Structure 1
């Protein structure tokens, strides 16, 4: 059973998990702008690279759901992970693809940017709608000054 984040602390932990997967997958060893992570290293062991890629990608997808990401963002993350996994399974060319195509990094960045563009309120919609903070935000959104997504964590 998937449990949605209920607080800003849980959202912070989700972001930390996503950043950890990103670093382990695509940048354990960095040289300039390039990095190699477990995804690229495990691709040399038959089956291990694909298993790792799907597992790490699954963690990012789970965290996206927990962070209540928009369905289209979750679909994009799944597509990136699928491409990353399939590309890594191609003999010889897949090895280079796993080093150059940093799918976990792209997915993690997509999720964290989406979280940055979302305003999270602790509490239910009814509780939050009674606050001045929410009414001020709603006025800014209606005036076109704010283009953020609002999510209620309660």
Structure 2
């Protein structure tokens, strides 16, 4: 009987979601919230400004609907934080970040500029990372 190992295929570009873990363990949650923050806040770099922007600033150009969609995605970070067992005061702080971003972001022109400067999802990720580093040190990642 001939048992052959399949030839190693070259790794092709896979969809963004294919690399995200599905578990509820702290490491999986950390990877998901970091990926969502990168999508919302730092997906594309604007060469002239040397500043990264993401879906939050891009979708903010669409009146009302864009801000509501990105607010829902920002609230997903809060939901993941709740599942980690974070204290309520931190959850309220995260909700306030998303609420401020949504409320000011809904103002037509000033809101778009505000979305470039105020990164609520980055702030919320910082809160989640601090909690994970303190309560789940095995998830700690050395940053570049």
Fold match, TM over 0.5? yes
Residue-by-residue CA offset, 1:27-48 (whole Å, 9 max, x unaligned): 0013586210000001111223
* TM-score scaled by length of structure 2: 0.72
Larger strand percent: 1
Offset, 1:87: 1.3
Matched, 1:75 2:116: no
The equivalent position to 1:64 in structure 2, one of 51, 67, 81, is 81
Kindly report the root-mean-square deviation, in angstroms, between the aligned alpha carbons of the 2 structures: 2.1
Structure 2: distance between partners of 1:33 and 1:113:
27
Q: Which residue of 2 aligns with 1:104?
A: 121
Structure 2: distance between partners of 1:114 and 1:34:
27
Q: Which residue of 2 aligns with 1:84?
A: 101
Matched, 1:19 2:14: no
SS at match of 1:69: coil
The runs of 5 or more residues in structure 2 that have no matched partner are 1-22, 138-144
Give the count of matched residue pairs. 114
Structure 1: distance between partners of 2:99 and 2:56:
13
